[in-house]
Amino acid sequence: MSDIARQLDFVSDHMPIIRGIGRRFAAGRPFDGLTVAVRIHVEPKTAVLVRILRDGGARVIALGNKGTTNDELAELLQREDIEVLGDRADDDSTMQAHLATLAAATPDVVLDNGAELIEMLVAGGEHPRGATEETTSGAFTLRGPLKGKVPFPVIVINDSPLKAIVENKHGVGQSVIETIRLATNALLQRRRMVVLGYGWCGRGIALYGKAAGADVAVVEPDAVKALEAAIDGFAVSELEDELERGDVFVTATGAVGVITVDHMAGMKDNALLANAGHFDTEIDVVGLRDAAESVTARGADIRQYVLPNGRSIDLIAEGKMVNLAVGGSRGNSIEIMDLGFSLQALSLERLARDPASLSLGDQPVPADIDDAVARAMVAEMMK
């Protein structure tokens, strides 16, 4: 047995909720005859999810995200009759080509991660039974450019209070701080950490950063969230006021270009930047590359960019999702994703079996699914 197969067995053993759902899927085969397109990071926890979809009768076609695919795992899944597109080295153009391949497969049910596949299906006039959307970034797209244009139900997993509290706050918060330490081997105690965005992911990063000893400041334009950050005990500031003070900057906004080249030019020398958001556009990495007078690799996952004013920026994982793009990182903890992927599995089953029970367009996870998964996780935690 290969190392990745052993790792996958270990992960599966620690995901009891989704294993139970998988046994039911294998018996009832709710996806018989259906093609399920899965756009999500290709790593061991997601492999457990795609396996139970396959065992439930689906033809599964999976595509990872830029810089986060585990190539050895992708090969293993291919041998198990799960189609996997792309690899870890994919760039923007190849990712778009793979998305077009996914859309051309005319999937019956879609699991999306950033709403790019949903957007492509809508543009092409394709109408699957329905889709799920995993991320804050994808929810922004559904409620912005795609508002009123999606002619099929989309269950936004990110709207579930379970995902917000358990996965986004505690899962992302813990894994982002652990991965920054992994990539840098740097001490966080008494260093000024500036967290951009105080949504659920930002809350978690601030919380776990504080627990690691960092002096945390939050940048948040929404007045209510800013107040919450202050009540939670964090300094609340404007980004411009933190440029000379911050040692570590972490983006978690779901927006584009929140840290610009002008911001980076104003930061202290050797400021460290990381992105926890879904897309690698929260930090203007393209502008940084264009502006830099030199670029030097500082280990496997850090590049130093020297700007015309002589100041240097250290960027982790080229601005990709830090807790999966850094070498050796493993994303959110196994038990956290047992909950998250159970929400996904049951929502996909609802779309496959009873799409008429759902309204068109974006909507939250059905309350009975939230309730069932919450009860299952509490039962597991109390054992």
What's the pLDDT tens digit per position in 320-359? 999 989 988 888 999 999 999 999 999 999 999 999 999 9
Every domain of the chain and the residues it spans? 3-159+333-381, 165-325
pLDDT of residue 65: 85
pLDDT of residue 1: 79
Q: Are 192 and 212 in contact (CB under 8 A)?
A: no
At the topology level of CATH, where does 3-159+333-381 sit? Rossmann fold (3.40.50)
The helix/strand/coil state of 241 is helix
pLDDT of residue 68: 81
CA 267 to mean position of chain CA atoms: 27
Q: Are 64 and 158 in contact (CB under 8 A)?
A: no
In one-letter notation, the amino acid at residue 141 is T
- CA-derived radius of gyration, the chain: 21
pLDDT of residue 383: 87
What's the pLDDT tens digit per position in 48-87? 999 999 999 999 999 998 878 899 999 999 999 999 998 9
Q: Which of 349, 379, 321, 341 minimizes the C-alpha distance to 44?
A: 341
If the chain, 383 residues long, is cut into consecutive pieces of 10 residues, what is the mean pLDDT of each piece? 92 96 98 96 94 98 88 94 92 92 96 96 94 92 96 96 94 96 95 97 98 98 98 98 98 95 97 94 97 95 97 97 90 94 98 97 97 96 91
Domain 3-159+333-381 and domain 165-325 have a common topology: yes
Q: Rounded to an integer, what distance in angstroms lies between the CA atom of residue 300 and that of residue 196?
A: 25
| Domain at 165-325, CATH class | alpha beta
